[in-house]
Amino acid sequence: MDLLGTFQRGVRQYLALRGVASCATRIQGHAIHYYALEGTGAGPPLLLVHGLGGNANGFGQTFFPLARRFRRVVAVDLPGNGFSPDPPGGPLSLQEYIGVLFEFCERVVKEPAFVVGNSLGGGMCITLAAMAPQRVKALGLISPAGARVEHGRLEDTLRSLDVRNAADTRNLLRRLFHRAPLPALIAAFELQRMYQTAAVRGVLAELAAGASSAIEPELLGSLSMPVLLIWGASEKLLPYEGIDYFKKHLPAHSQVQVVKGFGHVPQVERPRALARALIQFADTAGL
């Protein structure tokens, strides 16, 4: 039985019952699934971008509080993730994923947005904001990837994502969360499939082959829009040097918050607290 698929479809059905539209489009020849919820707030559209092994469902519990502050909330499944099928030509490179994200903003979001990315999605959003600032009203980074760190620590992170069995998955879950949920640990055998997809394996292979994922200081310093960096005080997946790198190279106007009780994926573990942090930032930034 496909318990993981059943759970993911159940989440989509629950969101639909609460008024969230499950949508499909084609971007650069790829079938793309995304969620859209019309909001009642005065803020700009808000785009949510998942990380490696994640999907738009992970942000599901943030949609509703965010929709009270923003005109529209959109969460995308990048190709080969969530309900977006695998690209027929095989896994995409990091640059190809960024290209899809660029065009998604142009064709679906259509106006400058508060763009929020987690982990690898955060790194992609930084590149988007630097290369197409007209598309990004403000930038939110949740434990973003892309810091230049000591090579051995990067290798340790890649090894933790290279799950081969249930024991590897339990180890990864403990690193992803402030406190890993017991049901997730019990269901590790099912959850390991989230990190054995072609999309995940492709990115890991690209990084293991020596592809540079570090974001250059000059690019970080060029960000002109309001920037929020949220880093979990319980972050255990990314190397600790990461937040120091971003603090050093992000522009001086950036807000940096180290939040107690947040791990690597607060959108899953503490969605309402994350939504409050994003809304408070939007208020202070005048969005």
- Each residue of 89-103: pLDDT tens digit? 888 999 999 999 999
The pLDDT, as a whole number, for residue 244 is 95
Q: Quick check: 287 and 44 in contact, CB under 8 A?
A: yes
Q: What is the mean pLDDT of residues 17-43?
A: 96
Q: How many domains does the chain have?
A: 1
Is the pLDDT at 144 greater than 60? The verdict is: yes
What is the share, in percent, of the chain residues with pLDDT greater than 90?
A: 73
CA 233 to each of CA 110, 155, 240: distance values in angstroms, whole numbers, following the listed order: 35, 22, 10
Which residue type sits at 262?
Answer: F
CA 174 to each of CA 171, 177, 181, 217, 262: distance values in angstroms, whole numbers, following the listed order: 5, 6, 9, 31, 13
- Of 46, 72, 205, which Cα lies nearest the Cα of 136? 46
10 Å Cβ neighbour count for 272?
A: 12
Q: Model confidence over 165-222: pLDDT tens digits?
A: 888 888 988 999 999 887 777 777 777 888 888 888 898 888 887 656 789 999 999 9
Half-sphere exposure of 114 (CA within 13 A, CB side): 26
pTM: 0.95
Residue 145: which CATH number?
3.40.50.1820
| Sign of the alpha-carbon dihedral angle for 132, 25, 59, 277 | positive
User: Taking each helix axis from N to C terminus, what angle separates 198-208 and 151-161, rounded to the nearest 10 degrees?
Assistant: 160
Q: What is the mean pLDDT of residues 105-119?
A: 96
10 Å Cβ neighbour count for 216?
A: 13
Q: In terms of residue numbers, what domain contains 113? A: 3-284
Residue 269: pLDDT band (50, 70, 90) is very high
DSSP element (H, E) containing 80: none
